[in-house]
Amino acid sequence: MGIDVSTQPHPAVEAEKRRIVEEFSTLGDWVARYEYIVELGGTLPNLPESLKTEQNRVKGCQSRVWFVPAVENGRIRFAADSDAVLVRGLIVLLLRIYSDRTPEEILATSPKFFEEIELGSHLTGSRANGLHAMVKRIQAIAQEAQAA
């Protein structure tokens, strides 16, 4: 079962993507962008230890990462955490795009905007794989919610 790519992302999602791209465009080099991602990670609330379970853990990440979904009024809100500062920053960016959205909005939203902020070319292979694993987990949760 694939993702329906014919669905258009919600305008609010597109607006948030543009805001992120604009934020990163004001940062000069990759070092500044990296520092900004680390800074974002510091804003992520810590997940309670009771939610850091194997069931909530994202497989395929070098770091330990947990995503906890809550479905309310047809929207999925994610709480998430990681034991790595940079990954926490990546999570903040993912939550800005994917949290508090409908399953349809999530499934229609490509993570390609990360290429616009040049993350793909600057993350290590294992970090890029982890980012991909987090997006796949978010999409799997959306597919499960859509089927329910």
Distance CA 40, CA 88 (A): 7
DSSP output for the chain: ----TTSPPPHHHHHHHHHHHHHHHTS-SHHHHHHHHHHHHTTSPPPPGGG--TTTBPTT-SS-EEEEEEEETTEEEEEEEESSHHHHHHHHHHHHHHTTB-HHHHHT--TTHHHHTT-TTTS-HHHHHHHHHHHHHHHHHHHHHHH-
Distance CA 79, CA 47 (A): 7
Residue 69, domain member (yes or no): yes
Position 83 pLDDT exceeds 60: yes
Residue 141, domain member (yes or no): yes
The answer to whether 3 touches 107, Cβ cutoff 8 Å, is: yes
Interval 7-47: pLDDT, tens: 455 678 889 999 999 999 998 888 999 999 999 999 999 99
The answer to whether 67 touches 78, Cβ cutoff 8 Å, is: yes
Structural domain containing residue 21: 11-147
Residue 6, domain member (yes or no): no
> Residue 127 — very low, low, confident or very high, per pLDDT cuts 50/70/90?
confident
Residues marked as catalytic:
61
Tokens of 17: 């993507």
Residue 27, domain member (yes or no): yes
Residue 5, domain member (yes or no): no
CATH number reported for the structural domain that contains residue 50 in this entry: 3.90.1010.10
Give every CB contact of residue 21 below 8 A, 6+ residues apart in sequence: 113, 116, 117
pTM above 0.85, yes or no: yes
Residue 35, domain member (yes or no): yes
Residue 104, domain member (yes or no): yes
Q: State how many domains the chain has.
A: 1
Interval 45-79: pLDDT, tens: 999 999 999 999 999 888 999 999 999 999 999 99
